[in-house]
A and B are shown apart, each in its own frame.
Chain A
Amino acid sequence: MVEARTINFKNAELSKPVGKAGEKSYRPDLSKILGRLESNVEKNPRQTLRDISNHGETKSIDKEKVPITQELKNKILGVVQECGLGKDIKDLSYIGKGLTGEVYRLTVLKNGKETIVAVKIGRNNFLSSQEQLNLVEIAKAETTGKYSLEKNATPYTFRRFGGDSKENISIMEYIPLSEEVPIIEYTHLQNLSIATQYAHHIYLLRQAGLVNPDYKRENLHNIDGQLRITDIGLVSGEKETLESTKQIRLKFQKMGLN
């Protein structure tokens, strides 16, 4: 389950939600493109750099090639209506592939008002390891409303509007990272400072078995002193996660951070 969380530097705790399944890296069909680019790299690397530079600009064209069927729209609309988020779909566009499925950006209309949410469609062939099974367990529990970190007053909260476990559809808060949230250019010292704080939190999170190690620079965003981490995957089952969460809270408290 790919999630997005906020870590608050000032209070040194995981604080209010920034959402989940935000704008993920778009992954076009790379094999063909990379094969073409690689053929030039030995003889003319400058040309390869030019090609890479140009490919970054074709993203929006590639996105439009992903078909969105009426059937998919109808299924999503059903879930959205059940959640009470809206009555009509204004726009549905493909964002990219996550670990557990494909993510779409959905604009829904309710009484003339627009709401943008992220929609994740889980993959049916995802169940190939225990870790993945655990992820799906959590997703199912979340979808049916049985599992809520927010309700259980843990330091971790996230917004989830609803979903359909049979169809593997999840409706979540949308964060347009690449369009609206700037990636701040840091000095070396700032990077070091952020990395230290980041490492500290990640150490605790990993020790508690809460997250998987898919951390990349592109998933880190510093907004007003808060480090935002997107695409953190929960790795343990419902019961274990809640237990781990309690432990981590105790650790924060012991360290005077909570």
Chain B
Amino acid sequence: MTEQANTLLFQVEQDIAKLLLVKLEKFDITFERASQIAKFILSHLPENLTDEQVIKIIPSLDDQFFELSEVVHKHMLSYEEKYKEDTIKNMQEMIKHKHFQQASNMAFKYFEQKI
């Protein structure tokens, strides 16, 4: 369980499950709606996904269920924090070596994920 608990998938599932429970407790959401969201998550985030696969799916989760926006936001911020410095360093290095296209691609990839 400890290994699994470190995966992004586990953290996202846990955040969403907790969010749904809190919303149910406060009557912010109906059981039917929570059930729809839970079903959606189980089908869109199948077991054994890698962190890279999960981070690509996360931004689209709240397109269908706005209730998930805070979880999406949290993990996107975390992604930005984690990769921002690395991306900047790599880009600077690439620009220094005049690999402009690669730097541009890297920036594009970062922003694409961020959005």
Contacts and interface: CB of A to CB of B under 8 A. Distances in A.
The majority secondary structure among interface residues of chain B is helix
Given A30-B24, A218-B30, A46 B36 contact: no
B66 A53 contact: no
B29 interface: yes
A151 interface: no
Contact of B13 (A25, A38, A46, A54): A46
Contact of B21 (A48, A59, A185, A216): A48
Given A34-B25, A53-B35, A46 B66 contact: no
A41 B14 contact: yes
A34 B24 contact: yes
B33 to A, nearest CB: 6
Contact of A56 (B13, B28, B31): B31
B86 interface: no
Given A42-B14, A45-B17, A50 B42 contact: yes
A53 B39 contact: yes
A25 B27 contact: yes
Interface of B: 1, 10, 13-14, 16-18, 20-21, 24-25, 27-39, 41-42, 47, 63-64, 66-67
What are the 4 closest A-B residue pairs judged by CB atoms, nearest first?
A: A56-B35, A53-B38, A45-B14, A25-B30
Interface of A: 25-28, 30, 34, 37-38, 41-46, 48-50, 52-57, 59, 178, 185, 188, 191, 216-218
Given A49-B17, A49-B20, 19 more contacts: A25-B32, A30-B25, A41-B14, A41-B17, A41-B18, A41-B21, A43-B1, A46-B13, A49-B13, A52-B21, A52-B24, A52-B35, A52-B37, A53-B35, A56-B33, A56-B36, A57-B35, A218-B29, A218-B33
